[in-house]
């Protein structure tokens, strides 16, 4: 009897699954795993949210791909959009070229979003692009082929949540009468989802990433997550899986925001973000981010060791919005000149720079990203290895590197003197080359005096020494919270160019039941003690005068150290400010 090859493959795959302990998959350490090497190198991808929600294209009540939910549309009524979906202008090669010209190295596209409509040819449902629309082609297949032609990796976004499939629960609340859950069998839904994942990974191979979403209505047990991941990894051992099937897997997925710093323990992460406010196409959302903002976000993300997945929402005809195309083209122009400072780089050795900009690192290179263009020499405190050579990407102008007195210590420091020519108003990159991998001692943020002589020690710039206290908030206006361990303390490095007597002001919030902790503010040899008072809540910030300090010009370590934790936390600290007393 002749055994067909695909039977042999299935037998082999099953054997692998049986012999491989499922928890072996859960133990994979992504950072060290060669599977993610290409992903860590490529840094920049295109997200595509495309589905029948592009027909209404309406974000008047929220993000456009949530149209069915936002307008509480019953399944039979929503299905009509499929009959109207006919993307005759779809051109896979054009999409891939737009991505490639922008400097993007991979594409993640919605095979199925929460509405349950399948943008690929599935044998498991008629609610797909082949059977339910007048468009008789499979765009996912055409895109997969175009990605191969243009050497771009392809991944699928696949929603666990499914507002259409009768076995997915919970059904939407506005349909409980029309679609009772009594017949629903969730495990049968999981088998359907696994079957479609098998179709995707097999029929559109090679699929480099499975980007799950919509897992928040269940958990790993309900979604059989370990089993689903094991199946995917047995079908494609190289596949990368994100953290949205209620398991950590290969990378974290901060959404519409960039973490304050690199994630702890070298955790891989990728920020996904829209160019306007909606993932799916909207006729009315013209709130587009600028090219400058998008490039600097990419650079900020690379400075912190992450990837950037930037979204495009194509129209019902299969065209990308011109505003998206224009931005991607401009980003591509910047990447053409400066791509080496992004691809293959790892996070900056400095948490924060002493100039308005960022840094990325690669082997014996450091790339200094200048958002502004200082005319005075820029010190690089903590850089212990001599620069071998320096150049300006995209220019032949000379960048001078000198060694001079370190304003932040008793030693010397290397400084960079920029030329007058500034290649880019968005981000000009100085490439520092070393003979070996450079050694940098990160002195943390060095807080300098403002022009009015004041010094602001922000929570955002604090070095947190301890196990539980952490920075909370978006941007630089957050606070230190979770300060439940009295051994945790905060430190800043600060430099006074001008000494004097300073009023020390502390800004914090504390709910009534946590008030009473004693603490010290220490700057050099000077100490002031305080007791945390109730400010009404953990979100009501008040400023208190703590006392005076006489300090000479120089560099100091400033510390806020609790002596006692009266109840469950010390305080939510926003800042310490030293105000010169004339």
Q: How far is CA 438 from CA 199, 276, 400, 413, 581, in A?
A: 47, 39, 18, 14, 42
Alpha helices (runs of H) in 73-174, residue ranges in sequence order: 75-84, 92-101, 139-150
Q: Are 492 and 461 a contacting pair, CB within 8 Å?
A: yes
Q: How far is the CB of 133 from ligand FHN (least distance, A)?
A: 21
CB nearer ligand FHN, residue 213 or residue 461: 213
Q: How far is the CB of 65 from ligand FHN (least distance, A)?
A: 5
Q: Is 66 or 308 the residue whose CB approaches ligand FHN more closely? A: 66
In the bound state with ligand FHN, the residue whose beta carbon lies nearer, of 270 and 427, is 270
Two tokens, residue 303: 């400075």
CB of 299 to ligand FHN, least distance (A): 22
Minimum distance from residue 320 beta carbon to ligand FHN (Å): 17
531: which DSSP letter?
Answer: E
Output DSSP code: residue 255.
Answer: B
Give how far the C-alpha of residue 554 lies from the chain's centroid of Cα atoms, to the nearest Å. 37
Burial class (CB in 10 A: 0-12, 13-18, 19+), 333: middle
Residue 290's CB is within 10 A of a number of other CB atoms, namely: 12
**C-beta of 497: minimal distance to ligand FHN in Å?**
46
Nearer residue to ligand FHN within complex by CB, 68 or 517:
68
Give the β-pairing of 365-370 and 446-448: unpaired
What CA–CA distance (Å, rounded) separates 235 from 232? 5
Closer of 272 and 418 to ligand FHN (Cβ)? 272
Strands 153-159 and 207-213: parallel
Looking only at the bridges linking them, the beta strands covering 44-48 and 106-112 are parallel
Please check whether residue 344 is in contact with residue 103, taking contact to mean a CB–CB distance below 8 angstroms. Answer: no
Comparison of 55 and 560: residue with beta carbon closer to ligand FHN: 55
| Residue among 272 and 387 whose Cβ is closer to ligand FHN | 272
Shortest Å, Cβ 294 to ligand FHN: 17
Q: How far is the CB of 163 from ligand FHN (least distance, A)?
A: 11
- Closer by beta carbon to ligand FHN, 258 or else 446: 258
Nearest residue to 339 via CA among 506, 105, 50, 503:
105
- Under 8 Å between Cβ of 220 and 247: yes
Place of tokens 């992004």: 342
Give the Cβ contact number of residue 9 at 10 Å.
Answer: 12
Nearer to ligand FHN, 278 or 338 (CB): 278
- Smallest gap from Cβ 279 to ligand FHN, in A, equals 5
Q: Nearest approach, Cβ of 67 to ligand FHN (angstroms)?
A: 10
User: 3-state DSSP call for residue 233?
Assistant: helix
**Alpha carbon of residue 484 to chain centroid:** 28
- Phi/psi of residue 269, nearest 5 degrees: -150, 155
> Minimum Å distance from CB 47 to ligand FHN?
7
Distance CA 340, CA 115 (A): 40
Q: Which of 520, 580, 527, 292 is nearest to 425 (CA)?
A: 292
Residue 280 or residue 438: which is nearer to ligand FHN going by CB?
Answer: 280
Shortest distance, position 272 Cβ to ligand FHN, whole Å? 5
Decide whether 255 or 435 has the Cβ nearer to ligand FHN.
255
Task: Name the minimum Å distance from CB 63 to ligand FHN.
Answer: 5
Q: Dump strand ranges (E) for 113-213.
A: 153-159, 207-213
DSSP label at residue 289: P
Of residues 564, 577, 578, 575, the one with CA closest to residue 483:
564
Secondary structure (DSSP) of 335-357: HHHHGGGTTT-B--SSSS-SSSE
**C-beta closer to ligand FHN: residue 115 or 316:** 115
d(CA 472, CA 483): 11
Phi, psi angles (nearest 5°) of residue 388: -85, -45
Query: Least distance (Å) from ligand FHN to the CB of residue 301?
Result: 15
524: left (phi over 0), alpha (psi -120 to 50) or beta: left
Q: Using the minimum distance from each CB to ligand FHN, give the nearer residue, 65 or 461.
A: 65
Whole-number minimum distance, CB 550 to ligand FHN, in Å? 52
- Nearer to ligand FHN by C-beta: 273 or 298? 273
Beta-carbon contacts of residue 422 (< 8 Å; ≥ 6 apart): 370, 373, 428
Report, in Å, the least distance between residue 62 CB and ligand FHN: 9
d(CA 260, CA 351): 10
CA–CA dist 333, 327 (Å, integer): 10
**Nearest residue (CB) to ligand FHN, 289 versus 542:** 289
Contacting positions for ligand FHN (CB under 6 A): 63, 65-66, 213, 255, 272, 279
């Amino acid at each position: 009897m002749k055994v067909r090859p695909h039977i042999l493959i299935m037998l082999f795959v099953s054997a692998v699954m049986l012999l491989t302990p499922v928890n072996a998959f859960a133990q994979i350490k992504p950072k060290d795993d060669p599977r993610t090497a290409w992903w860590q190198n490529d840094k920049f991808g295109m997200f595509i949210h495309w589905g029948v929600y592009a027909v209404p294209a309406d974000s008047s009540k929220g993000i456009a791909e949530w149209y069915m939910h936002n307008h509480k549309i019953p399944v039979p009524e929503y299905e009509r959009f499929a009959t109207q979906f006919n993307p005759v202008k779809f051109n896979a090669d054009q999409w891939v070229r737009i991505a490639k010209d922008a400097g993007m190295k991979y594409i993640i596209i919605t095979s199925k979003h929460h509405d349950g409509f399948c943008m690929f040819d599935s044998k498991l449902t008629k609610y797909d692009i082949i059977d339910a629309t007048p468009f008789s082609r499979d765009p996912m297949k055409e895109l997969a082929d175009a990605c191969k032609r243009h050497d771009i990796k392809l991944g699928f976004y696949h929603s666990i949540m499914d507002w259409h499939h009768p076995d997915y629960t919970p059904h939407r609340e506005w349909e409980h009468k029309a679609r009772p859950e009594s017949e629903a069998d969730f495990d049968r839904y999981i088998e359907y989802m696994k079957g479609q994942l098998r179709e995707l990974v097999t029929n559109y191979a090679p699929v480099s990433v499975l980007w799950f979403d919509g897992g928040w209505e269940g958990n790993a047990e309900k979604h059989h997550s370990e089993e689903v991941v094991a199946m995917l990894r047995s079908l494609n051992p190289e596949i990368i899986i994100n953290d949205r099937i209620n398991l950590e897997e290969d990378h974290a997925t901060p959404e519409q925001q960039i973490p304050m710093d690199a994630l702890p323990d070298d955790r891989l992460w990728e920020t996904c973000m829209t160019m306007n406010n909606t993932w799916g196409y909207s006729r009315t959302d013209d709130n587009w981010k600028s090219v400058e903002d998008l490039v600097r976000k990419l650079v900020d993300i690379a400075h912190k060791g992450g990837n950037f997945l930037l979204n495009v929402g194509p129209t019902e005809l299969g065209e990308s919005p011109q505003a998206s195309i224009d931005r991607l083209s401009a980003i591509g122009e910047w990447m053409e000149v400066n791509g080496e400072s992004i691809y293959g780089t790892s996070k900056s050795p400095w948490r924060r720079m002493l100039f308005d900009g960022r840094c990325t690192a690669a082997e014996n290179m450091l790339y200094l990203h200048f958002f502004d263009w200082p005319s005075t020499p820029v010190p690089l405190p903590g850089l212990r290895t001599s620069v071998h050579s320096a150049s300006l990407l995209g220019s032949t102008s000379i960048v001078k590197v000198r060694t001079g007195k370190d304003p932040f210590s008793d030693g010397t420091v290397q400084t960079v003197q920029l030329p007058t020519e500034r290649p880019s108003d968005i981000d000009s990159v100085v490439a520092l080359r070393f003979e070996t991998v450079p050694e940098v001692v990160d002195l943390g943020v060095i807080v300098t005096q403002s022009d009015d002589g004041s010094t602001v020690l922000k929570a955002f710039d604090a070095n947190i020494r301890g196990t539980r206290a952490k920075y909370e908030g978006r941007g630089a206006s957050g606070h230190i919270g979770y300060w439940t361990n009295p051994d945790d303390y905060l430190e800043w490095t600060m430099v006074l160019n001008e000494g004097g007597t300073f009023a020390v002001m502390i800004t914090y919030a504390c709910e009534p039941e946590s008030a009473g902790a004693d603490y010290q503010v220490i700057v050099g040899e000077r100490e002031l003690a305080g007791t945390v008072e109730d400010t009404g809540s953990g979100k009501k910030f008040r400023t208190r005068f703590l006392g005076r300090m006489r300090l000479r010009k120089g560099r100091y370590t400033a510390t806020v150290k609790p002596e006692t934790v009266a109840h469950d936390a010390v305080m939510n600290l926003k800042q310490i400010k030293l105000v010169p007393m004339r």
